[in-house]
């Protein structure tokens, strides 16, 4: 293609950008699941197979094939519009631009990652979470797999009270993005602790930093799991089951890293998602209902980490020896949740629905 032809192709033809269908977003989300599970398999291999010595592994094949699949699909959505005469930004569906731009960036970081591993070897410890090539991959991957969320954010058919089916692609995309964050903060991931490890850590504040590490991990994991939910609650009246779905996806990454040996703790978070869904039904939090939003943020965090410590204690057969820790930690979590709620929604939003109620 000549330079003149390329310029004609990228020049904006001026049409208003359109939204894709729910089916298209759903396919994007499902291919993003392939992409995300490929990363989970690779994370499991790096954590459990210390003899890795090459970039070319079945785990990388699962990961990069997922990238190829979801990238090809996104590019196809743009090409379909180009074939109808649209050019430039007019050819890119709403919500798909960031993902489209991230595709070549991800490929570039993938090439850098291959060179990095070839020259410096394969990381099998905490250093894997600070590799510049890995950080580039994870940021661009997040932009790609959250495409359905951006697509739904302003889609005219979603509305303030979407159904679970309509919001499913957005939920899946954001949930898998959350797992990426938890992966790169796994040195502070409370979901990787087993029941006995939790009880032992909160049983001794004199010997070693175990209690400090678990307390810090609970704070980090509280923010990582709750913040995406608060983002969605601020935007929509979430349908029942939304948080349960997100937490069920969220436990897959720590599960893969620990070979699911801490299954009771992982299942506890799924139950915590159900409790949060019940709180949403009861409190009806939204951007227009600041008090209910703040209450949900605090109560959801308090309930989640109360369940975490309760299930750990029941499974281990005893309570931690330091009562201040196992009684106070859920309160700290609730206060942090309340602070996040105030940060996400300092003032109630004036929505069309709220205006109609006042009128």
- Do 37 and 6 lie in one domain? The reply is yes
Q: Of 112, 143, 168, which closes a domain?
A: 168
Angstrom distance (rounded) from CA 177 to CA 188: 17
Predicted pLDDT at 47: 63
- Do 112 and 193 lie in one domain? The reply is no
Predicted pLDDT at 3: 54
Instruction: Say if residues 86 and 107 touch (Cβ distance below 8 Å).
Output: no
Predicted pLDDT at 206: 74
Residue with token string 């951006």: 150
**Quick count: other Cβ atoms within 10 Å of Cβ 79?**
11
- Do 163 and 244 lie in one domain? The reply is no
Distance from the first to the final alpha carbon of the chain: 59
Q: Partners of 178 in the beta sheet?
A: none
Predicted pLDDT at 42: 72
Per the domain annotation, does 195 fall within a domain? yes
Angstrom distance (rounded) from CA 92 to CA 75: 9
Q: Using DSSP, state whether 124 is helix, strand or coil.
A: coil
- Do 268 and 226 lie in one domain? The reply is yes
* pLDDT tens track, the chain, 359 positions: 445 444 555 565 567 788 899 999 999 999 999 888 887 777 666 666 655 555 556 666 777 888 899 999 999 999 998 888 888 888 899 999 999 999 999 999 988 877 876 666 666 567 777 888 888 989 999 999 999 999 999 899 998 999 999 999 999 999 999 999 998 898 899 999 999 999 999 998 776 678 999 999 999 999 999 999 999 999 999 999 999 999 999 999 898 888 889 999 999 999 999 999 999 999 999 999 999 999 999 999 999 999 999 999 999 999 999 999 999 999 999 999 999 999 999 998 876 555 444 43
Predicted pLDDT at 356: 45
- Do 66 and 159 lie in one domain? The reply is yes
- Do 24 and 162 lie in one domain? The reply is yes
- The token pair that represents 72 in the structure block: 């090809």
Q: 213: burial class by Cβ within 10 Å (0-12, 13-18, 19+)?
A: middle
Residue 258: HSE in the Cβ half-sphere, 13 Å Cα cutoff: 20
Instruction: Say if residues 219 and 189 touch (Cβ distance below 8 Å).
Output: no
- Do 137 and 270 lie in one domain? The reply is no
**Quick count: other Cβ atoms within 10 Å of Cβ 81?**
20
Per the domain annotation, does 177 fall within a domain? no
- Do 194 and 156 lie in one domain? The reply is no
Residue 11: HSE in the Cβ half-sphere, 13 Å Cα cutoff: 7
Which pTM does this prediction carry?
Answer: 0.88
Predicted pLDDT at 65: 86
Predicted pLDDT at 74: 95
DSSP string spanning 146-214? THHHHHHHT-TTT-SS--HHHHHHHHHHHHHHHHHHHHHTGGG-GGG--HHHHHHHTT-SSSSSHHHHH
Predicted pLDDT at 118: 66
- Do 25 and 160 lie in one domain? The reply is yes
Per the domain annotation, does 180 fall within a domain? no
Number of domains observed in the structure of the chain: 2
Q: Partners of 235 in the beta sheet?
A: none
Domain that holds residue 31: 1-168
Tell me the H-state helices in the chain.
3-10, 22-48, 58-83, 97-120, 132-145, 147-153, 164-184, 195-201, 210-235, 242-250, 252-257, 263-283, 290-316, 323-344, 352-358
Per the domain annotation, does 199 fall within a domain? yes
Per the domain annotation, does 70 fall within a domain? yes
Predicted pLDDT at 64: 80
- Do 132 and 233 lie in one domain? The reply is no
């Amino acid at each position: 293609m000549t330079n003149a032809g390329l310029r004609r192709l990228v020049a904006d033809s001026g049409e208003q950008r359109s939204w894709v269908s729910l089916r298209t977003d759903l396919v994007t989300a499902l291919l993003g699941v392939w992409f995300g599970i490929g990363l989970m398999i690779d994370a499991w291999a790096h954590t459990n197979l210390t003899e890795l010595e090459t970039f070319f592994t079945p785990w990388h094949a699962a990961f990069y094939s997922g990238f190829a699949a979801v990238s090809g699909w996104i590019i196809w959505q743009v090409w379909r519009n180009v074939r109808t005469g649209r050019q430039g930004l007019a050819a890119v569906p709403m919500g798909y631009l960031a993902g489209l731009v991230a595709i070549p960036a991800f490929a570039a970081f993938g090439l850098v990652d291959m060179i990095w591993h070839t020259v410096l070897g394969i990381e099998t410890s905490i250093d894997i979470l600070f590799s510049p090539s890995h950080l580039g991959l994870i940021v661009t991957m997040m932009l790609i797999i959250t495409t359905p969320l951006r697509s739904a954010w302003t889609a005219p058919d979603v509305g303030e009270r979407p159904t679970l089916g309509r919001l499913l692609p957005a939920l899946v995309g954001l949930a898998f993005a959350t797992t990426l964050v938890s992966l790169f903060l796994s040195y502070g991931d409370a979901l990787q602790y087993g029941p006995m490890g939790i009880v032992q850590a909160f049983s001794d504040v004199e010997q070693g930093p175990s209690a400090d590490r678990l307390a810090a991990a609970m704070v980090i994991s509280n923010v990582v799991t709750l913040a995406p939910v608060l983002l969605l609650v601020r935007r929509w009246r979430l349908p029942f089951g939304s948080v349960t779905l997100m937490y069920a996806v969220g436990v897959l990454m720590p599960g893969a890293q620990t070979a699911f040996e801490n299954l009771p703790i992982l299942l506890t978070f799924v139950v915590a998602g159900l409790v949060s869904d019940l709180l949403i039904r009861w409190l009806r939090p939204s951007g227009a209902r600041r008090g209910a939003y703040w209450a949900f943020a605090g109560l959801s965090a308090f309930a989640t980490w109360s369940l975490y410590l309760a299930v750990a204690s029941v499974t281990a057969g005893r309570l931690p020896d330091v009562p201040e820790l196992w009684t106070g930690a859920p309160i700290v979590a609730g206060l942090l949740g309340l602070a996040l709620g105030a940060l996400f929604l300092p003032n109630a939003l004036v929505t069309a629905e709220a205006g109609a109620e006042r009128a």
